[in-house]
Amino acid sequence: MGAGTCGGNNWPLRGGKFSNWEGGIRVVGLVSGGALPAARRGTKTSALVTSWDWYATYCTIAGADPADSKAAAAKLPPVDSISQWGFLSGANATQPRAEIFIADGPPTLPDPNADGEARCGGLIRGRYKLLLGRPPTYWVSQDVLTMPRWPNTR
């Protein structure tokens, strides 16, 4: 199939772009600037932070409320963003996000995805990850092994 040819390689992590393996979903995050306490500069963490968490984090730094009252009045779900500022700034030692639900799109999307892999979803909790494929077997075929050289097929 596609075997990692979708334009992404996050070697040495397993899997590539469009997969739910670490190579497809893990990225480097960076925090910098004058609001960051000097004691936290140059430190490293493996905390679970999602791209949508930056919204609430920036709101916290700016002193704004991340809640959307108009959306709530329209009976829409609340903003799914958790401020990471307390943890990143060192104000508290416990990371605010304990788990992340991951998905490769709704089950109605056709198989396979752009990398030739069956769609799947799962859960990351702490250092563990559970991947589930589509029913009825829940088999996960997203197992592209990446290499230092891209594309992986040569």
Which of 93, 70, 97, 95 minimizes the C-alpha distance to 81? 97
Of residues 134 and 129, the one with the higher pLDDT is 129
Instruction: Specify burial of residue 15 (Cβ count, 10 A radius: 0-12, 13-18, 19+).
Output: buried
For residues 89 and 61, what is the distance between their CA atoms, to the nearest angstrom?
A: 10
Q: Is the pLDDT of residue 148 over 80?
A: no
In tens, the pLDDT along 74-104 reads 999 998 899 999 999 999 999 999 898 887 6
Between residues 37 and 145, which one has the greater pLDDT? 37
What mean pLDDT is predicted for residues 26-49? 86
Phi, psi dihedrals of residue 131, rounded to the nearest 5°: -110, 135
Peptide bond into 12 cis (omega under 30): yes
Residue ranges of alpha helices (H) inside the chain are 22-25, 53-62, 69-73, 85-88
β pairing state of 120-125 and 99-103: antiparallel
pLDDT value of residue 84: 94
How far apart CA 89 and CA 60 sit, in angstroms, is 11
More confident residue, 3 or 83: 83
Q: What is the pLDDT of residues 48-76, one digit of tens each?
A: 898 899 999 999 999 999 999 999 999 99
Q: Distance between CA 19 and CA 116 in Å, rounded?
A: 10
pLDDT of residue 6: 56
pLDDT value at residue 45: 86
